[in-house]
Amino acid sequence: MNIKQLLRLRKLLLLGWLLAAGAGTAAPAAPAPVALPADHDPAVRLRQPPAAVERLNDLRGQRAFDYHEKKPDAEIPGFWGRFGSWLLRKFGWMFNWLGDYSYDGFWRWVIYGLLGGAVVFVVLKLLQVDLTAAFGRAPRRAALDYETGGENIHELDFATLLREAEDAGQLRLAVRLGYLALLKQLSDQSLIDWQPDKTNQTYLRELAARRPPLRSPFAELTRQFEYVWYGELPLSPTLYADVRTRQRELGQQLGGTAAGRARAAVS
């Protein structure tokens, strides 16, 4: 028997001895369960001092500690969109009465259409567009040798034209002539820069910058003139007398101001 065979035999004997030793060793016994005594203590109560509770509520109310995500408001499409939404809310009872919510979009566009038509009507009136001719009706003409539009206020004989308009019963035209006479007085005193293509609102801004106390009465007369002339407000003799009285009062005030400045310049 050579050396290699002796070494192999030795390894086999060692392996057999290890296996026999492992089989003869008993496994450790599991530990026995230990019974714990029952807990008879009362339930634990969380104490919250009043000061701490008050402080906590105060912190909750601060925006810096508000971690809730807020949804961004829906984008409102401009002024008319907001106004249309407001009208829809105000007239929601009408939609409920109809009982068909599928028409919400339809009524929304109806309201937009009405608003758009009103804006166009006001703009055309301010531009003095003859709407009666556009619909095939002949416009009403004054029985006078005087045509409105494009006139030069510095070339008109207002006293004569006003008397003729009143005698002919053309009260709306008389209100217009009285207003133009006021514009001439304001222009003569350099309180406005009169131009045929300027608007009344431009004259109001110029007057407010140069003689602020006169703006309020002139603004009221401007509003009355626009209602009567552009809005075709029916004029009774009583209403006409009231408007002309206010025009004369402002005209006299302007005349007194001009006379006072003239006396001051002479002295």
Following DSSP, what letter does each residue of the chain receive, concatenated?
--HHHHHHHHHHHHHHHHHHHHHHSPPPPPPPP-PPPP--PPPP-----HHHHHHHHHHHTSGGG--PPPPPPPPP-HHHHHHHHHHHHHTHHHHHHHT-GGGHHHHHHHHHHHHHHHHHHHHHHHTT--HHHHTTPPPP--SSS---SS--GGG--HHHHHHHHHHTT-HHHHHHHHHHHHHHHHHHTTSS---TT--HHHHHHHHHHH-GGGHHHHHHHHHHHHHHHTS-----HHHHHHHHHHHHHHHHHHHHHHHHHHHHHH-
| Single pTM value for the model | 0.46
Average pLDDT over the chain, rounded to whole? 73
Per-residue model confidence (pLDDT) at position 17: 72
Is the confidence at residue 236, as pLDDT, over 60? Answer: yes
Per-residue model confidence (pLDDT) at position 264: 42
Where do the domains of the chain lie?
78-131, 153-266
pLDDT per residue as tens digits for the range 119-166: 777 767 666 555 554 554 444 444 444 455 567 899 999 999 999 999
- Compute the average pLDDT of residues 243-264: 76
Chosen CATH of 153-266 out of 3.30.920, 2.40.50, 1.20.1530, 1.20.120: 1.20.120
pLDDT per residue as tens digits for the range 207-232: 999 999 999 999 999 999 999 998 88
